[in-house]
């Protein structure tokens, strides 16, 4: 079952049922499940090319670098950067070199 509703900040609330085994795996902590679902959905949308690294970082409130680290920690390769994201990475690396 899936229910939707509009929220503030250009977000839509979605309510749906999950299997008991997932609920129990998270020790019935709704906030934990909500976070896992949000992160999973954002990563899924990134991998399918619907969101940029910056957009993902903004949605999850962890920033560009935070999202890159999240992908790295989950073993998800980041070599699929689009041209704009690759240019941003090169630019940030150049800034680091200039500072040193």
Query: Which residue bears the tokens 């992908």?
Result: 71
Non-local CB neighbours of 50 within 8 Å, separated by 6+ positions: none
Q: Count other Cβ atoms within 10 Å, centred on residue 68.
A: 19
Per-residue pLDDT of 5-61, as tens digits, reads 544 566 788 787 888 888 888 776 777 788 888 999 999 998 888 898 889 999 999
Q: Is 18 helix (H, G, I), strand (E, B) or coil?
A: coil
Has this prediction a pTM greater than 0.85? no
Which alpha helices (DSSP H) does 8-82 contain, by range? Answer: 20-25, 30-47, 53-59, 63-73
């Amino acid at each position: 079952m899936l229910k939707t509703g509009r929220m503030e900040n250009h977000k839509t609330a979605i309510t749906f049922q999950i299997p008991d085994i997932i609920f129990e795996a998270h020790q019935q902590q709704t906030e934990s499940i909500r976070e896992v679902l949000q992160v999973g959905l954002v990563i899924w949308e990134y991998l399918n090319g619907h969101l940029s690294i910056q957009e993902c970082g903004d949605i999850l409130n962890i920033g560009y670098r935070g999202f890159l680290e999240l992908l790295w920690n989950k073993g998800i390769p980041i070599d699929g950067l689009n041209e704009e994201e690759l240019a941003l990475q090169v630019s940030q690396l150049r800034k680091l070199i200039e500072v040193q």
